[in-house]
Amino acid sequence: MKTVLITGGAGFIGSHLCDFLLDRGYRVICVDNLITGSEDNMVHMRQEKNFTFIKHDVTNYIDIEGRLDYILHFASPASPIDYLELPIQTLKVGSLGTHNALGLAKEKKATFLLASTSEIYGDPLVNPQPETYWGNVNPIGPRGVYDEAKRFAESMTMAYQRFHKVETRIVRIFNTYGPRMRIHDGRAVPAFINQALRDKALTVFGKGTQTRSFCYISDLAEGIYRLLLSGVNTPVNIGNPAEMTILDFAKQVIQITESKSKIIFKPLPVDDPRVRRPDISKAKKELNWESVVDIQQGIRSTVEFFRNKA
């Protein structure tokens, strides 16, 4: 039985990866300080004999006994609300946390996978965004704490690969949604669904013409797993290339929830990307992966989760 350590494993994506790997016969160690993660995401795993939870801040030294085959580094605030409220913690987990996780991978001779993000492309001047694009990031803007933390984490990961010969993977995650998202995390999917279910006005920033590409969580987990087991040691985009405007997405949520909500418009946040769409040619070629869950199916599943939480 192989052992996987997942930092940030109590978060939205991290907890789904815990489930995914447990289902496939792995022993899973989840490490999380619960700043943005939730114990609720792990309740059903506590009875699993192959699941272990350790409450720990990975910006401090990580000490794990025994063998580790894989380390998946997912610890980080990920929503704008979180990283704007926790800017120093975001920078520290992207730098010190990544350094500690890589040091552990080196010690254990484990394969290391970094959860990077489409935000490393910033407000892109190229659409769709291929992995070869270097990005258009404002390093001193309010979003820079997240963007630059992830860009640094990628550089650190590649340095450990080249200098210490650590086996590494980098996944650039595009907008992902599904059950276990936090209602008030500030991102479009939970915000719109929560507003629609209460017949409140959906808040669209700017004119709603900015685009996003929404990938359902099960598709993302499959893509990450294929990358982990592959020999690809350079960044890979994982996301849904079906691009849509935020305004159109808001209208779909209203339609699916059969809500009486209207749409209101507020000023666009600083440095909010105008376009976001992954070029997944590399994932298709190297991993034989592409998203399969269509947006309406995914929204319905996510809506049911939020209905049950209400």
Contact 94, 149 (CB under 8 A): yes
146 is catalytic: yes
Report the distance separating Cα 39 and Cα 58, nearest Å. Answer: 17
Q: Which of 26, 70, 83, 146 is catalytic?
A: 146
How far CA 234 is from CA of 165, 167, 230, in Å, comes to 14, 11, 11
Residues labelled catalytic: 146
